[in-house]
Amino acid sequence: MDSITVTLGERSYPITIAAGLFSNPASFMPLQRGDLAMLVTNDTLASLYLEPVRSVLEQAGVIVDQVILPDGEQHKSLAVLDQVFTALLQKPHGRDTTLIALGGGVIGDLVGFAAASYQRGVRFIQAPTTLLSQVDSSVGGKTAVNHPLGKNMIGAFYQPASVVIDIDSLKTLPANELASGLAEVIKYGIILDYDFFVWLEDHLDELLSLDPGALAYCIRRCCELKAQVVAADEREHGLRALLNLGHTYGHAIETHMGYGNWLHGEAVAAGMVMAANAARRLGQFSDEDLARTRKLLLRAGLPVSGPEQMAPEDYLPHMMRDKKVLSGKLRLVLPLGLGSAEVRTGIENNIVLASIADCQD
């Protein structure tokens, strides 16, 4: 059983990674006999994991309440958040309750915000069931719900008491969602760790066939890398921005195509190739590194170019609305070879347009 610690002073917490954790009562520490917990999941996952997790907790003497939310990004709303508060108050749950988020990024973000704001903050355990949420949203403390006028606009920085990653949950994950998670995995190699990039080149097939040892190492390494970044920059003033490699291009694809048509990781994969092309044109990324990046993404089943119906000019208006734009000039995360990256300011539009066109040849 792998375990790492996210170091944030008195808000430090452990991430445990192994197969079979959802069948082991010890996984859900610090819950103890006699504690009250609220298990929150969505209607898709409920049929797969709700009863097993509930029964394991009850065997350990935890009093388990539950609420099942509708599945999907469109339900990451204040109205659905209120359903969680209503369920908590109906029992009622006191300040000493624990919320357990059993699901992917939507459940994790929403339940995390519910935990941050119920009675001004209660304990929160994350049990992420998608590769994307395991390597991304389980570290960093970003919680949120969407508003009709903007994604993730209402939320809090709030850390869980622990994160429980049962690798077996990936067995029920659709292939395109596994690939979407791999885009974020590959991102960590590009921006922070050349050795991990090489490891991914060597072990991608094992990850795709859900080899437990390879998955455990991979998820652990991503969590370690993100934990280092977050410990150094919890509120995203500097270093943490590197985690957005490919995201400015990717958000343009997601927004233009309508949420749900391109998975987040698919859009980020295409966006990383575009960023790599921009870096190549600025003389800081070699043709060879670009070829290796493209090859690894393709092997993972990910796109290396944007949607055919989007011209380079279609990206710019979306990209200019990015939070990183300053005085009308783009700021982009660009790789500096494999294993390091920088935030670069004042990039001319013609470089951006060319970096997108490069992917359409």
Do the annotations mark residue 86 as ligand-binding?
Answer: no
317 binds a second copy (CB under 8 A): no
238 binds a second copy (CB under 8 A): no
Cα gap 319→316, rounded to integer Å:
5
Cα 125 to chain centroid distance, Å, stands at: 16
Q: Give the shortest CB-121-to-a second copy separation in angstroms.
A: 7
Residue (247 or 280) nearer to a second copy, CB: 247
Number of residues that bind a second copy (CB under 8 A): 30
Cα gap 164→258, rounded to integer Å:
32
Contact set for a second copy, span 140-199 (CB under 8 A)? 142-144, 147-150, 153-157
Do the annotations mark residue 356 as ligand-binding?
Answer: no
> What own/partner pairs with CB < 8 Å and gap ≥ 24 does 140-143 have?
140/226, 140/230, 140/240, 141/8, 141/11, 141/112, 141/230, 141/234, 142/109, 142/112, 143/108, 143/109, 143/110, 143/111, 143/112, 143/113, 143/115, 143/116
Q: Give the shortest CB-297-to-a second copy separation in angstroms.
A: 30
Angle subtended by helix axes 247-257 and 312-320, to nearest 10: 110
Residue (171 or 323) nearer to a second copy, CB: 323
Q: Give the shortest CB-191-to-a second copy separation in angstroms.
A: 22
Q: Is 42 a catalytic residue?
A: no
33 close to 19: Cβ distance less than 8 angstroms? no
> Beta-carbon neighbour count of residue 321 at 10 Å?
12
Do the annotations mark residue 288 as ligand-binding?
Answer: no
55 binds a second copy (CB under 8 A): no
Q: Give the shortest CB-108-to-a second copy separation in angstroms.
A: 15
Q: Which two tokens stand for residue 146?
A: 């969407």
Among candidate residues 10, 33, 120, 308, the one labeled active-site is 120
Residues acting as catalytic residues: 120, 142, 184, 226, 236, 240, 244, 247, 251, 264
Applying CB under 8 A, the residues found at the interface with a second copy are 78, 81-82, 85-86, 89-90, 92, 94-95, 113, 116-121, 142-144, 147-150, 153-157, 323
